[in-house]
Amino acid sequence: MQNILHQLGIQAINSGTSTGTWWEEEKGEFIESFSPVDGKKIATVFCTSHAAYNLIINKAEQAFKEWRLWPAPRRGEVIRQVGEALRKNKDELGRLVSYEMGKSLQEGWGEVQEMIDICDFSVGLSRQLHGLTMHSERPGHRMYEQWHPLGIVGIISAFNFPVAVWSWNTMLAWVCGNVTIWKPSEKTPLCAVACQKIVADVFQKNGLPEGVSNLITGDKVLGEKIASDTHVPLVSATGSTRMGKSVGAAVGGRLGRSLLELGGNNAIIITPDADLNIAIRAAIFGAVGTAGQRCTSTRRLIIHEDIFETVKDRLVAAYSQLQIGNPLDEANHVGPLIDKSAVEQYQHALEQCRKEGGIFIIEGKVLEGDRFESGCYVKPCIVAVKPDSQIVQQETFAPILYLITYRDFEEAIAIQNSVPQGLSSAIMTLNLREAEQFLSVTGSDCGIANVNIGTSGAEIGGAFGGEKETGGGRESGSDAWKNYMRRQTNTINYSSILPLAQGIKFEI
C-alpha cells in the first residue's frame, strides 16, 4: 500500500491543506489510519489546528473573489482535466479506497468511476447554468432570473463513500463558481489526502488561485466548526440522522443553508409477479455490498406470503456461495466492517433481534482466523421478523437482512413506508399496475423509487437523496446544482415611463 500512496503523490502526510500547500505548524493532534482489511496502520495524518482552519477560511474567501469571475465554461475545462487525472489514477485510488475503507476492489474502482462521471456531468453543466425569462405585466419591461455562486461550500463526508460523495458536491460547487472546504471522515483521511493531491496538481497547471479546494482533517469538532461558521453559507453533510440533526440545527440557527443526506432503511417489495432471478440478485447485492455499509443498502425484504418460502430458500442457497475476505482479492464478495465499533453495533443488533423473537434463517457471527485478523469481518445474516419489530425501525450499518411477509399490496406499501427514513426503495414485479402504483403518490414515500432494480447503485444523472429523517437534500444530477447557487430575479425597464406592478397609481 505504501507503493500506492507513493504513486498517488502522498509522501509527507500533513493536513490543514489548501490547494497546493501543506500547512506545517502545530503538529500536535493526529489521526492514525488503520485498515479494516488487516488491522495494520497505513499512515499518520496530522489534524487541522484552529489557527490553520482560520487561515484556510481566509484563503478560501480570497480565492472565491477571483474564481467566481472565471467564465463557467472555463471552470468546466478545469473540471474536465480533473476527470482526466482521475482516469489516470483510477486503479491506484480505487485500491486505496478498498484498503482504507474495506469495500471490494470492484466497488472501490466503481466509486472512482462515479467521480469521473460527475466531472463529465459538470463539464456539460458549465454551459447550461441557465435561468428563466418571464413576461412582465408592465409594458417596456423584461423579467428574468439568474444564478450566482454562494461562496464557501462546506462538505462533511462519511467513511462509506470516502471520495465519491465529496466529488458529487465539489464538482457542482466548483462549476457554479464556489470554493470548497472538505472535512472527511476521520476513519478514511488518506483517501481525502489523495484526492486533494490529484486536484492540486491540476489546479497548479491551470493557474487557479490558492484556496479553491481545501481539506481539513480531524474529529467531529471540526465538523461542528464548519456548521457554526457564518463564513460558510452552505454546508453539505452526509452521515447518520443524529449527526444531520446536529448540523441542521447549527446551520439553521445562523440562517445558513444545509444539504443533508442521512440515514437509509431501504426495502425491496417482492410480489408474486416478480422475476425472482432479478429479485434475488438485487437483494443480495443490496444487502451485502460494501458489507451493508451503504446508505442505500437493502435492509428489508417485504415478500408476499405465497412466495416467501421460495424466496427464502433461494436466498439461503445464494448466501452459501458468498466469499468473505480481503476486499482487494476480486474473488471475494464481502469485505470487513469499517472498525470494531461497527462490529459491536452489528452484535447489538443481532441480540436485539433475538430479544424481539426474530427467527434466524442464517445466523450471524464475528469471523475468526488468520484471514480475518483485523477482527472486523462478520457473517452476513438473514432474520425473519415481524413488521412492527423495533429493530427494523433503525439503520444498522452491517450486512443484516430482515425478511417480512405481506398479504396484499396495500399492506406491502404500508410496511415499506412505516420507517422514519425515506431514502431508497424498490419493487420487483412484472405487473404494470403494481409498478405504477408503487411510483404513484400513494406508493413509496422515498426520494428514490425503483422498479426491477435494487435499492443500491444510483447513477449520477439523477438527483440523489431522500425524505423524512434522510434529510430532504439532493446531490449529484438533475437540477441539484441549484443548491450551490443563489437565485436573483431581475427586472429591466427599457421604456420612458415608470408603471407600477398590480396597476398601482402613485402620482407626485
Instruction: For 46-105, write each residue's pLDDT tens digit.
Output: 999 999 999 999 999 999 999 999 999 999 999 999 999 999 999 999 999 999 999 999
Helices (H) and strands (E) in the chain, counts: 14, 22
Same domain for 358 and 443, yes or no, is yes
CB of 403 closer than 8 Å to CB of 312 = yes
Q: Burial letters for 120-150: b for 16+ Cβ neighbours within 10 Å, e otherwise?
A: ebbbebbeebeeeeeebebeeeeeeeebebb
Note if the pTM is more than 0.85.
yes
Helix (H, G, I), strand (E, B) or coil at 475: strand
Same domain for 434 and 484, yes or no, is no
Residues recorded for the chain? 508
Please give the backbone phi and psi of residue 206, each rounded to the nearest 5 degrees, phi first: -100, 5
Same domain for 343 and 234, yes or no, is no
Helix (H, G, I), strand (E, B) or coil at 496: coil
* d(C-alpha 12, C-alpha 17), whole Å: 12
- Domain of residue 271, CATH code: 3.40.309.10
Respond yes or no: is residue 261 known to be catalytic. yes
Same domain for 325 and 390, yes or no, is yes
Same domain for 128 and 163, yes or no, is yes
* d(C-alpha 23, C-alpha 93), whole Å: 23
Distance of CA 373 to the CA centre of its chain: 29
Please give the backbone phi and psi of residue 132, each rounded to the nearest 5 degrees, phi first: -95, 155
* d(C-alpha 483, C-alpha 258), whole Å: 9
Determine, yes or no, domain membership for 498: no
* d(C-alpha 222, C-alpha 62), whole Å: 21
- Please list the rounded mean pLDDT of every run of 10 residues in the chain (508 residues): 86 45 54 96 93 96 98 98 98 98 97 98 97 96 98 98 98 98 98 97 97 96 97 97 97 98 97 98 98 98 98 98 97 97 98 97 97 97 96 96 98 98 98 98 98 94 97 97 98 96 90
Determine, yes or no, domain membership for 504: no
Q: Which residues pair with 362 in a beta bridge?
A: 382
* d(C-alpha 112, C-alpha 91), whole Å: 9
Same domain for 38 and 182, yes or no, is yes
pLDDT computed for residue 42 by the predictor: 95
The residues, any chain, with a CB within 8 Å of residue 243's CB and separated by 6 or more, are 220, 223, 237, 262
Same domain for 245 and 280, yes or no, is no
CB of 415 closer than 8 Å to CB of 387 = yes
pLDDT computed for residue 28 by the predictor: 57
Determine, yes or no, domain membership for 452: yes
Same domain for 195 and 90, yes or no, is yes
Same domain for 216 and 75, yes or no, is yes
Determine, yes or no, domain membership for 508: no
| Amino acid letter for position 329 | D
**3-state SS string over 148-178?**
EECCEEEEECCCCCCCHHHHHHHHHHHHCCC
Same domain for 390 and 419, yes or no, is yes
Choice among 100, 186, 210, 261 that is catalytic: 261
| Alpha-helix runs per DSSP H in 291-370 | 308-319, 340-355
Determine, yes or no, domain membership for 38: yes
Same domain for 247 and 273, yes or no, is no
Determine, yes or no, domain membership for 320: yes
Q: Which domain holds residue 182?
A: 2-262+471-488
Same domain for 341 and 400, yes or no, is yes
* d(C-alpha 298, C-alpha 117), whole Å: 24
- Domain of residue 106, CATH code: 3.40.605.10
Determine, yes or no, domain membership for 454: yes
Residue with cell 443490496: 286
* d(C-alpha 2, C-alpha 9), whole Å: 11
Closest CA to 128 of 491, 500, 479: 479
pLDDT computed for residue 14 by the predictor: 44
Helix (H, G, I), strand (E, B) or coil at 448: strand
| Alpha-helix runs per DSSP H in 131-268 | 164-175, 189-206, 220-228, 241-253
Determine, yes or no, domain membership for 482: yes
pLDDT computed for residue 486 by the predictor: 98
Q: How many domains does the chain have?
A: 2
Q: What is the DSSP letter of 334?
A: B
DSSP letters spanning 82-121: HHHHHHHTHHHHHHHHHHHH---HHHHHHHHHHHHHHHHH
